[in-house]
Structure 1
Amino acid sequence: MACVPAPGYQSAYNPPIPYTTIIAGGMRPSMAVFIQATLPSDHKRFTVNFSTAEGEDSDLALHMNARYDGRDRVVFNTRQNGEWKEEEIKKDMPFKAGKVFSMLFEITRNNYLVAANGDRFYEFGHRIPLDQVRWVSVSGDIIVQHLAILGSGPGVKGGLVLSALQTDLYPVMGPPAILPAVPFKANINGGMIPKRSVILKGIPTGKTFSVNLKSGMTNDIAFHFNPRLNKGTLVRNSFVNGTWGQEETQVAKNPIKQGDYFELSIRAGQKAFKIFMNGSHHFDFDYRMQNLAQVDTLEVDGNVKLFYVLI
């Protein structure tokens, strides 16, 4: 079963290239765009565009062009009324052949903050107003494994958004936490009531890490998710009234491995937490605490690097 993303989060796995999608609600400060990708063997260049319209001749608010020609570099520019403006060149190439890499574009009031593989890479100032930016596209010599738009507006037809299936889900209100430090802690406003989701993207850096949904009032843990990479297990449990419950470890497939990117989405159902990883449903965890409104805290700790968290 595929995961229907909560309103405010657009997510696609393995889209065809070239790929273009609308930004639901348009681009605004505090949003972000995340791309996880690899390069084909015969790569020469690839492009990421933020544009004002869908057509090939549309204005480009951000044009990022990675070029591999012996003088490897990343070029940033805009195009307006058919004319290219002044290039900005970063003489560094963090997107290497043979490795999975990531690009994260954090949108602020003044600029696009670009991160490469979780590290700050470049700042590109706005030349076209954000409220005119409506589309994201990726083209060229690149294989996109995951593309996510964080903090987008109400669902629209087309693109990454399945609006008809999202109508019953609570939106992830944002703004997203971008490249947050671990340990990480955040409030879930109103608690983990049915149809609410928390979403995080990360990469394991060691033997184990944990994700907890807990009560800030009592410190009871409604859902404890603990991948143990040295043992290849995904441990789930609860901690209620001072006592750990029965561990659950059975899963058909474990997609979390050291050094591999993962997306984790935890959604509250009617009787259980539904756990999606990398866009697919993997297991449920039956409720052991019944007052879900008290489950108002998300904690992440251990050997993991986070790219973003959405609540």
Structure 2
Amino acid sequence: MASPQIPFYNPKIPFTGSIHGGLQNGTAINISGRVPSFADRFHVNLQCGSGTNADVAFHFNPRYSFFSCVVTNTFQHGNWGVEERKDNSVLQSDMTFTLLITVTQSCYQVIINGCHFMDYRHRIPFNRVDTIAVVGDVEITSISFQNPMFPGHGFPAQPGFPAQPGFPAQPGFPAQPGYSFPNFTQPTFPSCPVFPHQPVIPAQPGFPSSMFAVPYKTSINGGLKPGKTITIHGNVHPNANRFLLNLSYSSGVALHYNPRFDENTVVRNTKQGSNWGSEERTGGMPFHRGQPFMLTIHCDNHNFKILVNGVQTHTYRYRVTPLRNIQTLEIEGDISLSSVMV
């Protein structure tokens, strides 16, 4: 039986990596990163191989010069197909993002920061896709995979593959440096710094050294702001009772996120001074004992949007503002951690 796909953390851009076993109906790819302020464009390709002329089943191409749009297309038999364009109001420059691409029987479903963005109908059978490539003006913190045979995440980091030779240029899209394509300009993409790894706290006895120790605490540099995303990979203990995540400020807890397996619910609340507010409990229990998970918290203008394994499960309206005062992340309880990206 095939093993679960290992995530890529902080890959160097341009990046090409293998999708182990290829895509299946239900496969979800979650890409977390940041678009820098100087961005002109970048693309994510789901490809059939890694060669120079490999077919590209899904080309996802945000562009920022002149006007902001997302171009999608397919490259097949040496030619680009008909472009599909969509106004880009969510994947903005100088902001962090989470991009979730889910394979369905008929299309690639694209969700950005927890909101449905578009569906792209298959032009090439998705089971031919075995490679993912990211090129251009973007910083990537993680690329993780959820296979229907192996739900969840939380596996050790895998280094990125060396960049493959450039892909044929789409009309209007600069080719990668070092290759000659007639009639297209070939500027070199600016070098993009990747996010540094979070410091690893010494592991607790009985856990591998690659794990983050629990209880875990870290500072949020500059505090939170709209567009900020926090991504956590971990594993729920087989006999877990509860765990919690706190986003704290100087005099309390702005977001207390508390999955309780003994009550089969997730409690959300805020603590101001010594006083707790009213609990929120709707939305179900997306975590499972003994199972890995990816927890994403995205800050929009009014709410924390909370995604588990790429699916939005809870929304919690801000009770503490300004967000920049929220400067501490704490995690404790019956879980192990493999990655915390703030």
TM-score, normalisation: structure 1: 0.54
CA drift of 1:147 comes to: 1.3
Any gaps of 5 or more consecutive residues in structure 2? 162-235, 241-246, 274-295, 310-333
- Label 1:91 to 1:275 Cα distance change in 2 as closer, same or farther (>3 A): closer
Matches within 5 A, 1:137-286: 137-151=133-147, 193=238, 206-212=254-260, 214=261, 219=263, 259=299, 273-278=335-340
1:143-175 deviation per Cα after TM superposition (whole angstroms, max 9, x unaligned): 0112111117799xx8769xxxxxxxxxxxxxx
Deviations, residues 102-138 of structure 1 (Å, cap 9, x unaligned): 2110110000011111100011000101110101111
- Aligned letter for 1:145? T
8 Å CA contact retained: 1:53, 1:133: yes
The 1-side partners of 2:16 and 2:84 are apart by: 24
In 2: Cα distance, 1:150 partner to 1:88 partner: 27
User: Which residue is equivalent to 1:121?
Assistant: 117
The structure-2 alpha-carbon separation of the partners of 1:111 and 1:24, relative to structure 1 and needing over 3 Å to count, comes to same
What CA RMSD, in Å, does the superposition of the two structures yield over aligned residues? 4.1
**Deviation of residue 78 (structure 1)?**
0.2
- 2:27 matches 1:31: yes
**Alpha-carbon separation, structure 1, partners of 2:4 and 2:270:** 31
Q: 1:225 to 1:55 in 2, by over 3 A?
A: farther
Given that 1:22 and 1:159 are in contact with CA atoms closer than 8 Å, whether structure 2 keeps it comes out as no
Given the superposition, is the C-alpha separation of residues 99 and 264 from structure 1 closer, same or farther in structure 2, using an over 3 Å criterion? same
Asked if the contact 1:9–1:152 (Cα under 8 Å) also holds between the matched residues in 2, the reply is no
Residue 104 (str. 1) matches residue 100 (str. 2): yes
Q: Separation in 2 of the partners of 1:127 and 1:55?
A: 19
Aligned-residue sequence identity (percent) comes to 25
Q: Is the 8 A contact 2:35 2:92 kept in 1?
A: yes
- Is 2:28–2:101's contact at 8 Å kept on the other side of the alignment? yes
What SS class does the counterpart of residue 102 from structure 1 fall into?
Answer: strand
Contact 1:264 1:276 in 2 (8 A): no
CA distance 1:152–1:49, change in 2 (3 Å): farther
Q: Which residue of 1 aligns with 2:288?
A: none
User: So what's the TM-score if we normalise by structure 2?
Assistant: 0.50
**AA paired with 2:77?**
N
- Counterpart of 2:53? 57
Would you identify which runs of 4 or more consecutive aligned residues in structure 1 move more than 3 Å?
152-155, 158-161, 191-194, 203-206, 224-231, 256-265
Change in Cα spacing, 1:146 to 1:263, as seen in structure 2 (3 Å) is farther
Deviations 1:192-220 (A, max 9, x none): 649x9xxxxxx9995211123x35xxx59
Greater relative contact order: 1 or 2 (C-alpha under 8 angstroms, separation 6 or more)?
A: 1
Q: Which amino acid aligns with 1:72?
A: S
The 2-side partners of 1:47 and 1:73 are apart by 12
Cα offset for 1:38?
1.1
SS in 2 for 1:74: strand
Equivalence for 2:127: 131
User: Residues 96 and 86 (structure 1 numbering): CA distance in 2 closer, same or farther, change over 3 Å?
Assistant: same
| Residues 263 and 13 of structure 1: CA distance in aligned 2, closer, same or farther (over 3 Å) | farther
Counterpart code for 1:68: Y
